[in-house]
Every structure is written in structure tokens, then in C-alpha cells.
Amino acid sequence: MVDAENMKHWRDAGHVARRTLEAIKDEIQAGVKWHDVIESAERYIHRHGGKPAFPCTISVNDIAAHYTTDHLLTAPECWGGEMVFNKGDLVKLDIGVHIHGAIADNALTVEVGNGGQHTEQIKAAIGARDASIEMMHPGTPWHKVGAAAEQVAIDAGFQPIRNLCGHQLELYNLHAGTSVPSYACGSENPGFKGTVTEGSIFAVEPFNTTGDSGLVENITPRNSSNIYRVTGDVSIRKALAKKKLKPLGARLAHYLEERYVTLPFAERWAFPLMEKPFPDENEESRIRKWNALVKKLMNIRFLETYHALRCTDGGMIGQFEHTVWITDGGAEILTIE
């Protein structure tokens, strides 16, 4: 729970996150590379007093979430062309900022070229987000929040995505405890028991689709997002003492934990670490060593990774997101300029 006296960093993070989103959305133009927008967003965050709470993610058309570029600029396996925006693309831009661990998470959807192909879907995604937030008063059952989001999507002719949801935020914890449903999950759904709690902070992010399934699926391979996270469950010192880690692995683990705590980080942020211990190795050799080290850290559960996600039946996906703080009068939106 966060009380009013401790809200400064949360509000500051919200302001930086929103300003970043609004500034960077105009860079999403036909012919622009995904990676250029991603790097521009992350630079903007640093210049304005924040740090990325997770790598900037770009999700185009049927890709739903969790994709950022790696240092080699490798396209997702499901993507056939160049990672360049084309007129008519439906693009989700997701930005997270933290200030001393206080997190703000927000996202929007734009159509490249503003040709009007996706106007109704974009409106429906905004409406679902706002309908959810309207319902978020202390004591409101979570299934009512989800039902409000679904109703907007269905009325507009789209399906809500049922296996993606919003999430509670805590210091240095992007997905903490309670999940926020974005569909009519029903009062008996075991995943969404309980009610909206005063003093808690939530990221509210309904997704919708033009497809029929209302579901997303993993994009292979396991690390297709190019995003990792320190779990916080493993002591580096104990792993070294038990010979589960060699000194180089322990040094890498210590750096990652010190730099990112338990917040998600990009492969392209961490890969340059390999230059110092292996200055004379070529790129191919460094990649092999990086992959071996990451595999070891994942095997001992020091690190975890994520799949990027796409709509199961190829539907176009829309999303809008705000971070809110629950007060006695309802939800206060933190991701405002």
C-alpha cells in the first residue's frame, strides 16, 4: 500500500512516463525503424530524470506485447519483413519508467499514416481502459472491472483479450500480486478474487482484437522478447560457494542485480558486458559466451525471460494503458503529463 506522503516518486514517474509516450508516438512514421523509436524512447526517459522500468516495447499488428530489439536487431520469428513501420500498421508503444523503484507503466496504439483503417479499434481500446478505471473504487469486485472493459470491446465489434491482464505495482516489482481482468471473468473466477483495495497502485491495460479467439500465444523461442529479469530468489554468494556459478558468472549476476534489481532489462543493455572479460573475442564468440552464461543463470533460477506474444488467430491487436492509485474517492491516474 502507498499512502499520500509517499506518492512523490510515483507521481514523478507517471509524469515522465506520459511525457515520453506523447513525445515518442509522433516518431512512429512509415519508413522509420522500430529500433530507432525504441532507443529514442529510452533516451528520452533518461534525459527527463527517470530510468526505464522495462525496455521500451513495440508490438505491430497481431503482435500483442513484450517485444524489444536485441543488439543484433533480430526480428521476431513471426515477422516476415524488415522491422520498419509501414502505412496502415497498428502499433502498440509501451513505456515504463521508475524513479527510485516507484513505477509508472503506460501504453497507446497508433495507426501508421492515420489512414482511418483502425480508428474504431483504437477508440474501443481507449474506452475499455477508461471504463475499467471508472469502476475502480475501493471495494468493487474485480469481475465488475473486467466486465466493464469487455462491454466496451464487444459493443464496438471487437473481442477482449482474455489471457492478458493488468497488474499491481510495488517498489521494484512490475507484476506484484493482484491482476486486473480485462474481460467478464465472472464472480467465481479463482484468478480474480477479491476487490479493489485502497492505497494500491495498478497498471490498467485492456487489449482487444479483430480476431475471434480473444487469446494470445507465445512467440518462439523462449526468450523471443529479448527481455530478462533477476528473480530475486537466488543468492549469488551461496551459488558461488556451492559451485553453481563460476567467478565470471557471479560477476555478471552481481552487475545485473545491482543495476536492475528485479526490474526487466533488455539483452542489448547487458550484452556489452562481454567486451570487458573477452576484449579479443569476435562477435560470434561473445554471443556464444553470453548465451552460455545466461543459460546457466536461468538454470539456477537467478534469471527468467519472457516470450513475446501474438494473437492466436492473427487478429490485429489494440491496447491503451494507464497507471492508477486507488484513493477513497476512486482511481487517480498517475500517468498524466
* pLDDT by residue, tens only, the chain of 337 residues: 787 778 999 999 999 999 999 999 999 999 999 999 999 999 999 999 999 999 999 999 999 999 999 999 999 999 989 999 999 999 999 999 999 999 999 999 999 999 999 999 999 999 999 999 999 999 999 999 999 999 999 999 999 999 999 999 999 999 998 999 999 999 999 999 999 999 999 999 999 999 999 999 999 999 999 999 999 999 999 999 999 999 999 999 999 999 999 999 999 999 999 999 999 999 999 999 999 999 999 999 999 999 999 999 999 999 999 999 999 999 999 999 8
Q: 254-297: per-residue pLDDT in tens?
A: 999 999 999 999 999 999 999 999 999 999 999 999 999 999 99
> Cα(50)–Cα(112) distance, rounded to whole angstroms?
28
> Cα(133)–Cα(264) distance, rounded to whole angstroms?
26
Is 307 a catalytic site residue?
A: no
> Cα(201)–Cα(334) distance, rounded to whole angstroms?
9
* Contact (CB, 8 A) for 203 and 180: yes
Which of the following is catalytic: 35, 48, 71, 175? 175
What is the predicted pLDDT for the residue at 158? 98
Q: What residues have CB less than 8 Å from 19, skipping those under 6 apart? A: 44, 48, 337
Which of the following is catalytic: 12, 105, 130, 267? 105
DSSP code string of 30-41? TT-BHHHHHHHH
> Cα(86)–Cα(231) distance, rounded to whole angstroms?
37
Is 205 a catalytic site residue?
A: yes
> Cα(195)–Cα(281) distance, rounded to whole angstroms?
55
Provide the CB-side half-sphere exposure for 148 (13 A, CA).
20
Which of the following is catalytic: 12, 89, 150, 321? 321
Is 321 a catalytic site residue?
A: yes
How buried is 187 (Cβ within 10 angstroms: 0-12 exposed, 13-18 middle, 19+ buried)?
exposed
Which of the following is catalytic: 167, 267, 307, 322? 167
> Cα(290)–Cα(272) distance, rounded to whole angstroms?
10
**What is the layout of strands, in order, in the sheet containing 201-204?**
179-180, 166-169, 201-204, 322-327, 330-333
How buried is 237 (Cβ within 10 angstroms: 0-12 exposed, 13-18 middle, 19+ buried)?
exposed
Which of the following is catalytic: 12, 94, 130, 267? 94
- Domains recognised in the chain with CATH numbers: 4-213+315-333 (3.90.230.10), 227-305 (1.10.10)
Is 36 a catalytic site residue?
A: no
